[in-house]
Structure 1
Amino acid sequence: MRQAFLALLLAFCAATVSAQSIKTVYHVNTGVESASAVLNNITNHLNADPEAKIVVVTHGPGIDFLMSDAKDSQGREFSGPVSALAARGVDFRVCNNTLVSRKIDAGLLLMEAKIVPSGVAEVARLQAKEGFVYLKP
């Protein structure tokens, strides 16, 4: 009887874990030259797991694709893909330390970007306190 109960409990726990979406933080600290690939990775991620919770944390040159009028190497603006991903629930976060050190006005960011005090501290917080999986594309 006890073994049957334990087996049932384990099956329930396994089903519960597999039903939960995976929370993932994408850490971006490289410039616009890699941003298209990052956005494509996130799109592919959501296509495979539409329920995934994704947060993109940027700092240093990684914030550049979240600037108004930022363009890829072929002249396409990032605002469209960022807006489309935000509509699918992706959060984009920008390091305030980077804004201050580079003397960038927060008003130049895309409206989807949210400012956090520190990009690296935000990545650590999401991992340690909220159980996010870390990806560095």
Structure 2
Amino acid sequence: MFKRVFLAFLFSLVASVSLAQDVKVVYHVNTGVETAAAILNNLNNHLNASPKDKIVVVTHGPGIDFLLNDAKDSKGREFSGQVSALASRGVAFEVCNNTLQTRKIDPSNLLMETKIVPSGVAEVARLQAKEGYVYLKP
């Protein structure tokens, strides 16, 4: 009897710990500045609803454009302030080195909150397969 009660307790403890874990999410961004404002709003909404979630934004192709210094939306608003605010809330912004090389963009043109990864698509796959991230394509 004690063994059953102990096993039931242990099972419920493990279940509650796994439910309490934060969600890890990778946002895959490969569209240009015309969608960046909506994506940044999605990130804010996500963190407002689930502030402990771990979020990585992986960009490649035109998706890196909002992470360039002086990048602006169609209304002339810069993205740097929003990116900085999100980074201060724990969001990681990753930029594809293949895109930088192909487009001949100097890494010094990136916002300071960014991190360069060898390949954006390979990073998305790695985060999903090896680190258990949920995939979101805004």
Letter in 2 for 1:47: N
Q: CA deviation at 1:118?
A: 0.2
Q: Within 2, Cα distance between the matches of 1:6 and 1:40?
A: 45
CA distance in 1, matches of 2:4, 2:128: 35
Instruction: Tell me which amino acid in the other structure corresponds to 1:53.
Output: K
Q: Sequence identity of aligned pairs in percent?
A: 73
Letter in 1 for 2:65: D
Any gaps of 5 or more consecutive residues in structure 1? none
Q: TM-score, normalised by structure 2?
A: 0.95
Q: Aligned partners of 2:104 and 2:136: how far apart in 1?
A: 28
Q: Which runs of structure 1 show a deviation greater than 4 angstroms over 4 or more consecutive aligned residues?
A: none
What residue in structure 2 maps to residue 86 of structure 1?
87
**Counterpart-to-counterpart distance in 2, 1:10 and 1:31:** 47
Aligned residue pairs total 137
1:27: which partner in 2?
Answer: 28
Residue 53 (structure 2) aligns with: 52
Are 1:68 and 2:78 an aligned pair? no
The residue type equivalent to 2:14 in the other structure is: C
Unpaired stretches in structure 2, ≥5 consecutive residues: none
Corresponding residue of 1:4: 5
The code of the aligned residue for 1:90 comes to: V
2:83 aligned partner, one-letter code? V
One-letter amino acid of the structure 2 residue matched with residue 7 of structure 1: A
Query: Whole-Å Cα distance in 1 between the matches of residues 112 and 59 of structure 2?
Result: 15
Letter in 1 for 2:27: Y
Alignment partner of 1:11: what SS? helix
